[in-house]
Amino acid sequence: FDVDLQARISGNKFFYAIGEVGRKGPLPINANMTLLDALFSATWTPLQPEGRVFTMLVIILFFFLVPMQTAKVFEISTQISKYTGAFTPSGRRHIVVCCDPTCRGLEKFLRDFLHPDHGVANIQVVLLVPAEPTAAMSELIVRYAKERQMTYLKGDLLSTDDLMRANVDSASGCFILTDQHAADSHSCDAMTILRTISVHNYRPKMRTIVQLVEPENKAYLTAVGIPSQHIVCVNELRMA
């Protein structure tokens, strides 16, 4: 059998139906006819058995393909992190804070920095971490979400694209935190130094506060132009 698409046009109205070429029946159209009239009131030429089989196959194919494609779309959507977007300033000042997922001093830093008594209540924190949030970080995200005080982004200061996503160009400052209890403090400091150099090259005049573990690593940062008063050494404070 031969299947085609038939159409009847009246003014700016279009009605379409699938039927067999040799058995197309007339569909009278008037100016007041609606789509519901065309579907339920008009008399359409019934399909032959072959046409019914074709229609049933289309319906069965639809019910099989739609769930499969929906599952694929859902799977793809779950693989896309919701933290890969970009920070959009809302008129308030913001700072960028970068650390590793294992950084255990982040909670204390946020609690002290965003404390109302410190006069920085009207500032936003853009937290840039090179991984999905851990359970502890998810708790911080929820805690500071009410006043929109913190935005979590998955990224690293080593990437120029991530620097742009965090809107470092208009940030009031940048804090680079280290893991104070890292097993390999020198490797941890090396990553902090690389991130600091990346930010300094991207925006040299921005105030960048850096946290290191070992005091002897401070010389690497002062050599690239980071003021010594902007470098905090954890072990140096412990010995004091």
Closest CA to 173 of 205, 201, 195: 205
β-strand pairing of 13-20 with 93-98:
unpaired
Residue 100 has pLDDT above 80, yes or no: yes
Closest CA to 175 of 207, 145, 149, 153: 207
d(CA 130, CA 234): 22
d(CA 198, CA 204): 10
The predicted pLDDT at position 127 comes to: 94
d(CA 180, CA 38): 74
The predicted pLDDT at position 182 comes to: 84
d(CA 107, CA 128): 14
Residue 201 has pLDDT above 90, yes or no: yes
Mean pLDDT of 56-60: 79
The predicted pLDDT at position 162 comes to: 95
Cα–chain-centroid distance for residue 156?
14
Mean pLDDT of 155-170: 94
Residue 85 has pLDDT above 50, yes or no: yes
